[in-house]
């Protein structure tokens, strides 16, 4: 059975233990190899697909992920909805560790990434509308599911897509804050734009793993990030089980 929903797992979610796995599918694409096999299974009574963005061993840094291959592979197997889970840093004061957030805007600070399907062998130059970078329909379902579970998720925010793999400087965070950004991650672009080019209904579920650089005294450590992600990803698993049955096969 063809999955209509896909989950892209980021840092802290390289595997989904609530997914009843039925098979693994290795796909080739015109854009190279995806991050790993597409995992087919059942979640919340629905057939879904899961793809680990950084690979099964979490070995692919943000700037080396083959975003085009990942999205193309999901599109090829018939996916209509894509829930992208990602760990982020909190810029806005209420973006504290462990909080879930559903961004509705983004600012792209990345560079040098393959960012479009529309570049070779075109009959004409192609542009997409990206005024609202996330699917409003899917965001609304995520918000409804989070409310039903009393998760206290942040329902509106702007995502800053940083290049990585290093964390940001305090001055960069101040700049992002002036630009209107509320959270910062490294994988939001070009993933969101590529999904739009393919006509996929794409929305992000961000988990705040740490306060961004300069927002609290001291250095940011991976131990801190991993510790905060444990509780955050438990909420994500509950959210996914709640929201998956709310997504119809057709949009």
- Angle of helix 136-148 versus helix 222-243 axis, rounded to 10: 100
Tell me the domain boundaries of the chain.
Answer: 5-115+127-246
Alpha helices, DSSP H only, in 27-128?
A: 67-76
Alpha-carbon distances of 95 from 101, 115, 136, 195, 208, rounded to whole Å: 8, 28, 21, 26, 7
Angle (CA) 28-75-236 rounded to 5° is 105
Buried (b) or exposed (e) across 161-190, using 16+ Cβ within 10 A? bbbbeebbeeebbbebbeeebbbbbbbbbb
Contacts of 141 (CB under 8 A, 6+ apart): 243, 246, 247
Lookup result for tokens 């510790």: 227
Q: Which two tokens stand for residue 20?
A: 């009843």
* Rounded CA separation 137/246 (Å): 11
CB 151 within 8 A of CB 205: no
Predicted model pTM: 0.94
pLDDT tens per residue across all 251 residues of the chain: 688 999 998 775 655 667 788 899 999 999 999 999 999 999 888 899 999 999 988 899 999 999 999 999 999 999 999 999 999 999 999 999 999 999 999 999 999 999 999 988 878 888 999 999 999 999 999 999 999 999 999 999 999 999 999 999 999 999 999 999 999 999 999 999 999 999 999 999 999 999 999 999 988 888 888 888 888 888 999 999 999 999 975 55
Burial class of residue 208, CB neighbours in 10 A (0-12, 13-18, 19+) = buried
Q: How many residues does the chain have?
A: 251
Neighbours of 223 (CB within 10 A): 8
Residue 95: its pLDDT value, please?
97
CB 3 within 8 A of CB 78: yes
Q: What is the CATH number of domain 5-115+127-246?
A: 3.40.50.1580
Residue 28: its pLDDT value, please?
93
Residue 122: its pLDDT value, please?
79
* Rounded CA separation 112/98 (Å): 31
Residue 34: its pLDDT value, please?
97
Residue 231: its pLDDT value, please?
84
């Amino acid at each position: 059975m063809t999955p209509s929903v896909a989950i892209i797992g980021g840092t802290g979610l390289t595997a989904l233990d609530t997914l009843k796995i039925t098979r693994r599918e290795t796909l080739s694409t015109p854009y190279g190899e995806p991050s790993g096999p597409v995992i087919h299974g059942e979640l919340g009574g629905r057939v879904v697909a899961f793809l680990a963005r950084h690979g099964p061993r979490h070995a692919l840094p943000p700037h080396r992920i083959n975003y085009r291959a990942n999205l193309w592979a999901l599109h090829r197997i018939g996916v209509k909805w894509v829930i992208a889970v990602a760990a982020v840093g909190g810029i806005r004061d209420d973006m504290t560790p462990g909080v879930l957030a559903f961004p509705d805007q983004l600012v792209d600070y990345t560079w040098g990434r393959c960012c479009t399907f529309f570049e070779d062998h075109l009959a004409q130059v192609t542009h997409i509308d990206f005024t609202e970078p996330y699917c409003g329909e899917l965001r609304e379902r995520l918000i409804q599911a989070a409310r039903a579970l009393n998760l206290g998720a942040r329902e509106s925010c702007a995502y800053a897509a940083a290049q990585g793999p290093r964390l940001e400087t305090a001055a960069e965070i101040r700049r992002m804050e002036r630009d209107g950004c509320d959270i910062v991650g490294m994988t939001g672009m070009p993933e969101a734009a590529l999904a739009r080019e393919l006509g996929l209904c794409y929305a992000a579920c961000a988990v705040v793993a740490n306060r961004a650089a300069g927002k609290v005294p001291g250095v940011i450590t991976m131990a801190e990030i991993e510790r905060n992600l444990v509780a955050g990803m438990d909420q994500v698993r509950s959210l996914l089980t709640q929201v998956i049955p709310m997504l119809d096969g057709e949009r």
